[in-house]
Structure 1
Amino acid sequence: MIHELREYRLLPEKWPVYFDLFQRVCMPLRGNEYGRLRGTWLEQDSRQVRFFHLWEYESLDARARLRVALAEKPGWREDFLAHAAPQIHRQHLRILNPQRIAEDLMTGEGDFHLVRYGCDVGRANAVRAELEDICSPETSIWTMEFPDPNQVLTLSASAEIEFSEEARRSVQSIEVTRLRPLAL
């Protein structure tokens, strides 16, 4: 199984148009037939909106096959993409390998912290193993397949982690994004 984390950056005035299209057009066309939607989250300030959505696929091959099938679905390109794409300022995709998924975080209440740990080359699995040992069971953990295989991501209610000295030396960077769950 793989997860695809999509991040769309939009200008605040374009967000309501995009989210309306996502709810009213995208989800009825797509549903969970073309990948299972595991969660949606939002980070917003006065300059931009960052919309995150997490999709689950059986494999990279299944993802590729389902994306082709979705592109051929009537209405997808004309009714959704043609109107949604102009609303998006930037788009980032990450393919993730789920290591531990806390189901309640996908639908929970309150803010969450998406933390990206940039690791030294070859050290991501050691950092992931330590995170699995020290994080609560409510913390979801992924290793990144691409674009950067030397990253580990967590999603949890807290961003506070006490690494061992060895793990601290293996982590080059830490990026914390505070997310609010979005109900569809």
Structure 2
Amino acid sequence: MIVDLRTYTMVPGRLKAFLELYEKEGLPIQLKHLGNLLGYFVTETGTQNQVVHLWGYESAADRERRRTAMENDPDWIAYRRKSAEAGNVQHQTNKLLRSTSFSPL
């Protein structure tokens, strides 16, 4: 399994607006294309105003195929534009994680 771990740092005061827009418009599109949402979290301690989400894939090729389909979806393109115009996200990072032989996932 490959896990895509993404961390978004929001502009202070914009976390709620980001989550509302994402839940209403972005999440349904991602679930349609990416499918395996492992978790979606906000930070309680440490760096504040962060959203962390994890998506599971069978392989790097599976991830690439799914993400390519999503990036070509007109609804996703419209959502990304709307999200960018809202100016909620300050910084983004992502890591691809490979599970170990003894991992429960």
Q: TM-score range by the shorter chain?
A: 0.7 to 0.9
Q: Kindly tell me: are residues 101 and 50 of structure 1, through their superposed partners in 2, closer, same or farther at Cα, counting changes over 3 Å?
A: farther
* Unaligned segments of structure 2, at least 5 residues: none
8 Å contact from structure 1 (residues 35, 63) kept in 2: no
* AA matched with 1:27: L
8 Å contact from structure 2 (residues 3, 55) kept in 1: yes
Identity of aligned residues (%): 27
1:73-110 CA-partner distances (Å, limit 9, x unpaired) = 121111x11122331100010100123137xxxxxxxx
Q: Kindly tell me: are residues 44 and 12 of structure 1, through their superposed partners in 2, closer, same or farther at Cα, counting changes over 3 Å?
A: farther
> How many residues are aligned here?
100
Q: 1:18-29 alignment to 2 at 5 Å? A: 18-29=18-29
1:35 positional shift: 4.0
1:44 positional shift: 4.8
Q: CA RMSD in A?
A: 1.9
Which structure has more helix as a fraction of its residues?
Answer: 2
TM-score computed with the length of structure 2 as normaliser: 0.83
8 Å contact from structure 1 (residues 4, 54) kept in 2: yes
- Helix, strand or coil at the partner of 1:38: strand
Higher relative contact order, structure no. (Cα contacts within 8 Å, ≥ 6 residues apart) = 2
* AA matched with 1:83: K
In 2, Cα distance between the equivalents of 1:101 and 1:81? Answer: 33
Residue equivalent to 1:87: 88
In 2, Cα distance between the equivalents of 1:30 and 1:87? Answer: 19
In 2, Cα distance between the equivalents of 1:82 and 1:29? Answer: 14
Residue equivalent to 2:51: 51
- Helix, strand or coil at the partner of 1:101: coil
* Unaligned segments of structure 1, at least 5 residues: 103-184
TM-score computed with the length of structure 1 as normaliser: 0.50
Give every structure 1 segment of 4 or more consecutive aligned residues whose post-TM-superposition deviation is greater than 6 Å.
Answer: none
